[in-house]
């Protein structure tokens, strides 16, 4: 256990940041799952936009790396394009 005031404060700060980061990451994962679960193309497009926004927000806050964000957005866009291509 921390004995110094500054280490106790650092623990409080890191706990607060961890909880905030968890919330953002959870929202991102939920939006991705909603995109993957949606069926209709128009619903899937709206879910894709929400997922991309959530991914960008997580990358902006340095919760995930910017290249990881780009990779995830690319994978989701590719999945959407394959769905649209197969239905047309």
Residue 26 has what pLDDT?
98
Tens-place pLDDT, residues 21-31:
999 999 999 99
Per-residue pLDDT, 71: 98
pLDDT tens for the 88 residues of the chain, in order: 789 999 999 999 999 999 999 999 999 999 999 999 998 989 999 999 999 999 999 999 999 999 999 999 999 999 999 999 987 6
Which domains are assigned to the chain?
5-87 (1.20.58.110)
3-state SS string over the chain?
CCCCHHHHHHHHHHHHHHHHHHHHHHHHHHHHHHHHHCCCHHHHHHHHHHHHHHHHHHHHCCCCCHHHHHHHHHHHHHHHHHHHHHHC
pLDDT at 87 (0 to 100): 77
User: What was the pLDDT predicted at 1?
Assistant: 79
């Amino acid at each position: 256990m921390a004995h110094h005031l500054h280490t106790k404060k650092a623990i409080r700060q890191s706990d607060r940041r961890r909880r905030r980061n968890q919330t953002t990451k959870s929202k991102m994962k939920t939006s991705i799952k909603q995109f993957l679960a949606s069926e209709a193309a128009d619903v899937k497009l709206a879910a894709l936009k929400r997922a991309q926004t959530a991914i960008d927000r997580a990358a902006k806050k340095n919760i995930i790396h910017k290249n990881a964000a780009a990779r995830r957005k690319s994978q989701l866009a590719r999945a959407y394009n394959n769905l649209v291509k197969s239905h047309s």
